Amino acid sequence: MTNDGLREDMIKRGLKRAKMFSWEKTAKETLRVYEEVYNDR
């Protein structure tokens, strides 16, 4: 991108968005889904 202001803004937004995700949260959600599927059998 040639627009430095836009590029910096997108970097900041991307980093802020990345903080919404974590491996721990992913693992907990995956386990929850597995347990839900297993219990519905």
Structure confidence at residue 35 (pLDDT) = 97
Q: pLDDT tens across 16-40, in order?
A: 999 999 999 999 999 999 999 999 8
Confidence class of residue 1 from pLDDT cuts 50, 70 and 90? Answer: low
Structure confidence at residue 2 (pLDDT) = 85
Q: pLDDT tens across 2-12, in order?
A: 899 999 999 99
Confidence class of residue 14 from pLDDT cuts 50, 70 and 90? Answer: very high
Max CA-CA distance within the chain? 55
- Kindly report whether the global pTM for this prediction surpasses the value 0.85: no
Euclidean distance between CA atoms 30 and 24, whole angstroms: 10
Q: Tell me the CA distances in angstroms from 34 to 1, 21, 22, 24, one per residue in order.
A: 42, 19, 18, 15
Using CA atoms of 7, 11, 16, 20 in order, give the dihedral in degrees to the nearest 10: 120
